[in-house]
Amino acid sequence: MVESVFQKAVIVQVELPKKRERSSSLKAFDEFKELVLSSGAEISDEDFSKQAKPTSGLFITKGKAERIKDSLEQTESELVIFNHDLTPSQERNLENIFQARVLDRTGLILDIFAERASSHIGKLQVELAQLSHLSTRLVRGWSHLERQKGGIGLRGPGETQLETDRRLLNQRIKNIKNKLSKSHKQREVNRYSRNKSNKTLVALVGYTNAGKTTLFNLLTESKLYVANKLFATLDSVTRKNNVSGLEDILFSDTVGFISDLPTELIESFKATLDELKSADILVHVVDISDPDFIYKTEQVLLILKELGISNIPCIRVNNKSDKVDIDEISNGTSNNNNEVWVSALKNTGMEHLVNSIQFNRKKFMVKEWVELEPNQGKIRAKLYSLGRVLEETTSEAGLIQLQLEIDKNELNNLISNKGIDLKNNKIKEAI
């Protein structure tokens, strides 16, 4: 882990005309400062400036580099953090000028992830991301050992220290990938078991610090860690719901997204992201009190599209609605079945979320008559407890006939049991 805790840091952002997005650079700079503070660093000075284009050697101009160097000396800081992705050579050149550690945006996010990851899988995923990021930057730490090893006790396999370190690093990356692959297979088994038990999975997604974990705790009566800071949640957690009207549903809390999410994180968190792909419904939690909520909402939708899961039914939950004037912001959309207004902290608006989830579940429901043998009372009782039964009769042959409102996959699993059949076999052939 990068030792950034309690270090004084000078933070740098350069506004590049070609890189301007809908979110203003000042708002992006504010988010960057939140990231820095989340890492535990102390901001000693800020450098926000404009530049026509990045320079190849330093990213910033030599004049800006000298100005930052003076700031480092005056504030006695030992770290410079850029809100940009730097090349390995740019990091090395800047460190030579500053005589201080240089960290780019990806390195900063990886540092925060390394500090917050708590589960074994989460720690492995973060380590893989860090090693992938580090693999192109090894030369910085071994520039004094570029020559072949030599001397008594140092004559070895003919590798430079840099080559040896790269080989060991690649071996570690391979080992982590193998462990994550085993975990991925175990998750597939868990998902198969969940599908077999006809559980509906609802995954909470959204921008970091939107209130997903607070809502998750409310829905499941859990006590997961909640904090008003970026990336407070890093491990995906799935629990049974505890809300009346949402029987047979599992909720999954996931890591928050952020704009310009590093590629290394997308790759290393594949196992976590696969949890989203298996979800039946997505609940997109939006911090509606955030002045920049439109841009952040678009960023989440963009990431969902990149992950290939934008086709999953999605409910937008405008959280922290107690802090805003709903009529002013809603613009007549408050009656939309796929958009609800809640305050997870105040526990308000939850009945609208329940209704929206039920509405989206019914999109996959079909109405069919099934016939059960008299000795299958346990299955009949379970269907009643799940609220699937609309009507019941008895056939002349003594068979139990139930009209069900049921998910198509759940219906297929049901009629695969011996002694259970559709009342109309022609319908069965069409399914």
- One DSSP character per residue, 265-290 reads HHHHTHHHHHHHHT-SEEEEEEETTS
pLDDT at 148 > cutoff 60? no
Give the CA distances from residue 404 to residues 198, 336, 389, in Å, rounded to whole numbers and listed in that order: 15, 27, 5
pLDDT at 156 > cutoff 60? no
pLDDT at 75 > cutoff 90? yes
Q: Average pLDDT over the chain, rounded to whole?
A: 80
- Residues 61-70 have a mean pLDDT of 95
Whether residues 385 and 419 share a domain: the answer is yes
Q: Rounded to an integer, what distance in angstroms lies between the CA atom of residue 262 and that of residue 35? A: 14
Q: Is residue 189 part of a domain?
A: no
pLDDT: is 336 or 1 the higher one? 336
Burial of 152: CB neighbours in 10 Å, binned 0-12, 13-18, 19+: exposed
Cβ atoms of 157 and 129 within 8 Å: the answer is: no
- Residues 346-361 have a mean pLDDT of 89
**DSSP secondary structure string, 204-240?**
EEEBTTSSHHHHHHHHHT------SSTT---S-EEEE
pLDDT: is 80 or 389 the higher one? 80
What does the pLDDT look like over 36-45, one tens digit per residue?
A: 998 889 999 9
Cβ atoms of 257 and 233 within 8 Å: the answer is: no
Q: Which of 67, 84, 112 is the C-terminal boundary of a domain?
A: 112
Cβ atoms of 350 and 245 within 8 Å: the answer is: no
pLDDT at 144 > cutoff 60? no
Among 168-177, 280-289, 310-319, the range scoring the smallest mean pLDDT is 168-177
User: What does DSSP say about strands 200-206 and 101-103: parallel, antiparallel, or unpaired?
Assistant: unpaired
Among 140-144, 160-164, 173-177, 189-193, the range scoring the smallest mean pLDDT is 140-144
- Residues 127-155 have a mean pLDDT of 60
Q: Residue 25 has what pLDDT?
A: 58
Whether residues 424 and 398 share a domain: the answer is yes
How many Cα atoms sit within 13 Å of 24 on the Cβ side? 6
Whether residues 38 and 175 share a domain: the answer is no
Q: Residue 190 has what pLDDT?
A: 63
Q: Residue 412 has what pLDDT?
A: 79
Q: Rounded to an integer, what distance in angstroms lies between the CA atom of residue 164 and that of residue 185? A: 32
Burial of 226: CB neighbours in 10 Å, binned 0-12, 13-18, 19+: middle
What does the pLDDT look like over 196-253, one tens digit per residue?
A: 556 788 999 999 889 999 999 999 988 877 766 667 666 678 888 877 777 778 898 8
**Which residues have a Cβ under 8 Å from the Cβ of 153 and sit 6 or more positions away?**
none
pLDDT: is 363 or 278 the higher one? 278
CB burial readout 371-403, b (16+ within 10 A) else e: bbeeebeebbeebeeeebbeeeeeeeeebbebb
Q: Predicted confidence band at 133 (pLDDT cuts at 50, 70, 90)? A: confident
Whether residues 258 and 333 share a domain: the answer is yes
- Residues 175-187 have a mean pLDDT of 78
Q: Predicted confidence band at 321 (pLDDT cuts at 50, 70, 90)? A: very high
pLDDT at 24 > cutoff 60? no
pLDDT: is 392 or 149 the higher one? 392
Place of tokens 């047979």: 248
- Residues 256-270 have a mean pLDDT of 72
Q: Rounded to an integer, what distance in angstroms lies between the CA atom of residue 273 and that of residue 132? A: 18
Among 19-28, 45-54, 59-68, 157-166, the range scoring the smallest mean pLDDT is 19-28
Helix 270-277 / helix 120-134 crossing angle, nearest 10 deg:
120
Domain that holds residue 313: 199-348
Whether residues 108 and 121 share a domain: the answer is no
Burial of 418: CB neighbours in 10 Å, binned 0-12, 13-18, 19+: exposed
Q: Residue 151 has what pLDDT?
A: 46
> What tokens appear for 271 in the block?
């196992």
Q: Is residue 326 part of a domain?
A: yes
Whether residues 228 and 287 share a domain: the answer is yes
> What's the CATH number where 403 sits?
3.30.70.240
Whether residues 104 and 214 share a domain: the answer is no
% of the chain at pLDDT higher than 90: 28
> What's the CATH number where 326 sits?
3.40.50.300
Q: Residue 426 has what pLDDT?
A: 40
Whether residues 331 and 407 share a domain: the answer is no
- Residues 130-138 have a mean pLDDT of 78
pLDDT at 12 > cutoff 90? yes
Q: Is residue 312 part of a domain?
A: yes
pLDDT at 69 > cutoff 90? yes
Report pTM: 0.71
- Residues 169-177 have a mean pLDDT of 87
> What's the CATH number where 54 sits?
3.40.50.11060
Q: Is residue 50 part of a domain?
A: yes
What does the pLDDT look like over 107-125, one tens digit per residue?
A: 898 888 888 777 787 788 8
Q: How many CB atoms lie within 10 A of CB 256?
A: 23
pLDDT at 363 > cutoff 80? no
